[in-house]
C-alpha cells in the first residue's frame, strides 16, 4: 500500500498524527492484517519532531461503491493508537 498523506496537528499543546494509506485490493484477504500491522509498527518507530499523543491510520479500499444519494464512497479500516491501546473500526 502506498502512503498517501502523513500529517501531525497540534491541539491544546498535544500532537496528533494521522496517516492515510491506499489502496486495499481485497479487504477480506487473510494477509491484510499482517500488512497493516507491519505498516503501523513501521510508522510507530519513526522519529517525530514532537511527542505524539495519538496516531490514527486510515486504510482506504480500492473499490468504490455508490451510496444512497449517488456519491462514490470507499470503505476504510481506521486504527487509533493512544495510551498503548489500539482501537479498530471498519467503515462500509
For residue range 60-86, list pLDDT tens digits in order.
Answer: 999 888 888 989 988 899 999 999 999
**Terminal Cα-to-Cα distance of the chain (whole angstroms):** 19
CA angle at 20 for the pair 75 and 35, rounded to the nearest 5°? 80
Q: Where is pLDDT greater, at 68 or 17?
A: 17
For residue range 27-39, list pLDDT tens digits in order.
Answer: 778 888 899 999 9
Amino acid at each position: 500500500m502506498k502512503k498517501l498523506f502523513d500529517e501531525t496537528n497540534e491541539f491544546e499543546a498535544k500532537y496528533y498524527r494521522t496517516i492515510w494509506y491506499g489502496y486495499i485490493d481485497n479487504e477480506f484477504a487473510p494477509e491484510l492484517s499482517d500488512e497493516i500491522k507491519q505498516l503501523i509498527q513501521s510508522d510507530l518507530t519513526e522519529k517525530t519532531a514532537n511527542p505524539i499523543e495519538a496516531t490514527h491510520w486510515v486504510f482506504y479500499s480500492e473499490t468504490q461503491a455508490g451510496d444512497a444519494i449517488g456519491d462514490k464512497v470507499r470503505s476504510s479500516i481506521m486504527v487509533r493508537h493512544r495510551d498503548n491501546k489500539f482501537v479498530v473500526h471498519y467503515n462500509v
